[in-house]
Amino acid sequence: MSLSFGGIRALRGVSLAVREGETLAVIGPNGSGKTSLFNCISGAYQPGAGDISFDGASLLRLSPDRVARRGIARTFQNLRLFLGMPVMENLLVGRHLHFRRNLLSAALRLRREEIRHRDRCEEIIEFLDLEPYRKLRAGDCPYGVQKRVELGRALALEPRLLLLDEPASGLTGEEKEEVAYWLHEVRGRFGVTLVFVEHDLRFASRLAARMIALDRGEKIAEGTPEEVQRRPEVERAYLGDAA
């Protein structure tokens, strides 16, 4: 897969396969193409060459909402919450693809549909320990809590593949430990395949069984975290030629 912006090549022939049920880390220095890769998979960008296949079907030319309907959700490096809305309402936004339009229920003013989705969000609130914040506006919550809310909104979509763009960025050491625990539990409890971008190599190595390294839009290494971090190309990408 390749992606260009004018004369800038953001991705150059990047190829990867994600196995169902695994946790895959994508690492690389700033500007290496990690977020561009996620934007292509989620439908925000359309690659100039190559294909993106999920469950045997191409995702090319699908809008982000149609990609989400296929079972792919994501979080963002820069949080994109509805800061003026309560935490619960932010999670309910993640249920919008699952709402069924029932004219009879609407005519009778039944709230069964809303109750069903609220019950699902209640499970996520309990799982992510968001109960103390459920009625607070998302913008009034601490940054670490906002990261959890965005994770919860993505889980509310009931994805099969979850793309996490720097889930530990900006967090304290203790908060990173909590995120690592929840992401480990997500895979088991929700049966989700995880692909995450991360700068913190220690955090990434703890969670991922397999790792891919990018630099200047190209894949430079793939393997276990130990194998990837020992590669001279990866050392140079992070530390420069002095490595």
Instruction: Please tell me the distance from the alpha carbon of residue 105 to that of residue 102, in angstroms, as a whole number.
Output: 5
167-188 average pLDDT score: 91
- Enumerate domains of the chain plus CATH numbers: 3-71+159-239 (3.40.50.300), 81-142 (no CATH)
Rounded to whole angstroms, the Cα distance separating 1 from 50 reads: 4
For 26-55, the pLDDT digits (tens) are: 999 888 999 999 999 999 999 999 999 999
pLDDT for the residue 243 = 42
pTM reported for the whole predicted model:
0.89
Strands (E), the chain: 3-5, 8-11, 23-27, 53-54, 57-58, 72-74, 161-165, 193-197, 210-215, 218-223
DSSP state of 193: E
The tokens of 114 are what?
A: 């809303």
Higher pLDDT, 140 or 8: 140
